[in-house]
Amino acid sequence: MTYIIRFLIIILLNSCAGFTYSNLYPAFKNFVISADIEVDRELFDSNTASFAKVRLGRNSVAIMSLAYIQDGVYEWVSAANEKIFTKNGKIIKTIGLPFNINILDSYRFNFIDGSVDYISKLSNPIATFKQKSTFIGPKAKKGNYKVVELVETVGLQFRHKNYYYYSSSNILIRAEQKIHPKLPVIEMDFYLK
């Protein structure tokens, strides 16, 4: 009940500030899906497939199940049918988010030290542009380690860093990525079975 009261207060406070009904569903959804999800042994064991805990900004947390793997691309699906496609942990395509991305030539990613150029397509707003990623890996891989991706968008002031965390056995366990100028960082914790 408190979610509904808080939601109605926000609508009333924002009604003069340009709040439209198209903002209604995403705002309500963020209020309802604001609690964190603790992945404990019971949750891990209750899932028959691999899954990822996905956090979009501070409020939205969801569990996304691994639907399939094809040609090195992993498709993660939420209960609300939002989809995130990853390759080597990098988000290469999204469906159902408020702002989506599709990397058109994602076959180029191999996550070794070095750079790669590729074409990205955004929705909301619709835009296609060239990006360059430079991957910086650890000098030595003792224990858990991190790979940093420096992303630069050609012709736009959209530069950022993405982070990929690996276990000592070279398994990706976490990724933090900025994929769209209008979205907060997406954090993905991977639980593979």
pLDDT one-digit tens code per residue, 111-159: 666 888 999 999 888 889 999 999 888 877 778 999 999 999 987 778 9
Per-residue confidence (pLDDT) for residue 132, from 0 to 100: 92
For residue 71, CA distances in Å to 75, 94, 151 come to: 11, 17, 24
Average pLDDT over residues 28-51: 73
Closest among 26, 35, 27 to 8, alpha carbons compared: 27
111 and 142 together in one domain: yes
86 and 18 together in one domain: no
Closest among 82, 38, 45 to 193, alpha carbons compared: 45
Please determine, for residue 63, whether its predicted confidence score (pLDDT) is greater than 60.
yes
17 and 59 together in one domain: no
Half-sphere exposure of 115 (CA within 13 A, CB side): 7
Quote the CA–CA distance of 151 and 130 in Å, as a whole number: 11
Q: List pLDDT tens digits, range 74-124.
A: 999 999 999 999 998 999 999 999 999 999 988 777 666 688 899 999 988
Domain that holds residue 148: 35-191
58 and 139 together in one domain: yes
Per-residue confidence (pLDDT) for residue 112, from 0 to 100: 63
Quote the CA–CA distance of 33 and 78 in Å, as a whole number: 12
CATH number at residue 186: 2.40.360.10
112 and 134 together in one domain: yes
115 and 187 together in one domain: yes
How many structural domains does the chain have?
Answer: 2
